Amino acid sequence: MKRSTLALPLLSALTLATLTACGGGDGDGASDAKTTDRAKATASASPAKPSVDPAKELAKLLVTKAEAGDYNVREPEAGDAMATTQEQLRVDKAACAPMAYATNYLPLGAPEASLVRVADKGTSTYNYITLATYAPGKAEAAMKGLAKAASACTGGYTAKSDKASTTYSSVKKETAPTGTDTDTGADESIATASVVPYKGTQTMRTQTFRFGDTIVNYFSINTYGFLNGRSSEADIPTDLVKAQNKKLG
């Protein structure tokens, strides 16, 4: 008895739904319109998915002090950079702009986001890590631009900003490290040595790796020569490259 009492309202509801769905004439249009309106209302009421912040995602990929061994890893000091944007850096040879960016720890090309860290061991050598993320295809284009610049600017160039001017007497392509010890699966890499004729010669280096849509650029400079009037040379530390690239591979 109880079963038939419960079943009757259910049967009535199902029958009503069937009749509504199968009805003809003007009722069809009105029902469809109402259904469409309800669907639109539901869609507009649904909370939008939060957009991904490229900078926050990129920050997760930066090597930390705990991961970098003996290196102090921190943000560069305010006012440390010759230029903080590509627009602030002017180059006498347009083709050399990517080299100027790489040696001033600015991102290459047109990234969606970029972050910079400096790592050192308390000595006169400073290693800058510039990490940048790109829209599909933009990272490959940025690497091509850097490769062309390294080839076109062997005779040197001058970069200027409102703060300073630096003349590079030469740019030379070098062999970027490969293999599991350093690149940990990078899609491509470029390495360069740039010379600044200041109280002798000051040689600074870059190593740049692309991992899919992410580029990491390492720039090392030995400030001893600049401060003491002697020639100096900086090398990219393999252990630091290994630690950072491991997080990208």
Instruction: Calculate what percentage of the chain has a pLDDT beyond 70.
Output: 78
Q: Which long-range contacts (CB under 8 A, 24 or more apart) does 189-192 make?
A: 190/143, 190/146, 190/147, 190/150, 191/236, 192/99, 192/102, 192/150
pLDDT tens string 72-107:
999 998 888 999 999 999 999 999 999 999 999 999
What mean pLDDT comes out for the span 243-247? 94
pLDDT tens string 99-145:
999 999 999 999 999 999 999 999 999 999 999 999 999 999 999 99
Average pLDDT of every residue of the chain: 84
Q: What would the two tokens of residue 8 be? A: 């009757």
What mean pLDDT comes out for the span 57-66? 94
Task: Count Cα neighbours of 7 within 13 Å in the Cβ-side half-sphere.
Answer: 4
pLDDT tens string 38-47:
545 544 555 5
* Three-state secondary structure readout of 72-119: EEECCCCCCCCCCCHHHCEECCHHHHHHHHHCCCCCCCCCCEEEEEEE
Closest CA to 249 of 206, 193, 185: 185
**How would residue 29 be classed by pLDDT, with cut points 50, 70 and 90?**
very low
| Cα gap 6→9, rounded to integer Å | 6
Q: Could you tell me which residue, 185 or 233, shows the higher pLDDT? A: 233
**How would residue 13 be classed by pLDDT, with cut points 50, 70 and 90?**
very low
Closest CA to 243 of 65, 58, 59, 54: 65
The CA–CA distances, whole Å, from 157 to 56, 102, 220, 243, 248 equal: 35, 14, 19, 32, 32
pLDDT tens string 160-184:
999 999 999 999 999 987 766 676 7
pLDDT tens string 197-231:
999 999 999 999 999 999 999 999 999 998 999 99
**Which of 69-78, 154-163, 181-190 is predicted with the least confidence, judged by mean pLDDT?**
181-190
H or E segment to which residue 159 belongs? strand 157-160
Q: 54-248 architecture in CATH?
A: 3-Layer(aba) Sandwich (3.40)
Residue 83's region, left for phi above 0, alpha for psi from -120 to 50, else beta, is: beta
Q: Where are the domains of the chain?
A: 2-45, 54-248
**How would residue 233 be classed by pLDDT, with cut points 50, 70 and 90?**
very high
What is the rounded end-to-end Cα distance, in angstroms, of the chain?
Answer: 69
Pairing of strands 157-160, 165-168: antiparallel
| Cα gap 97→90, rounded to integer Å | 8
pLDDT in the model for residue 177: 79
pLDDT in the model for residue 185: 83
Closest CA to 140 of 95, 190, 102: 190
Length of the chain: 249
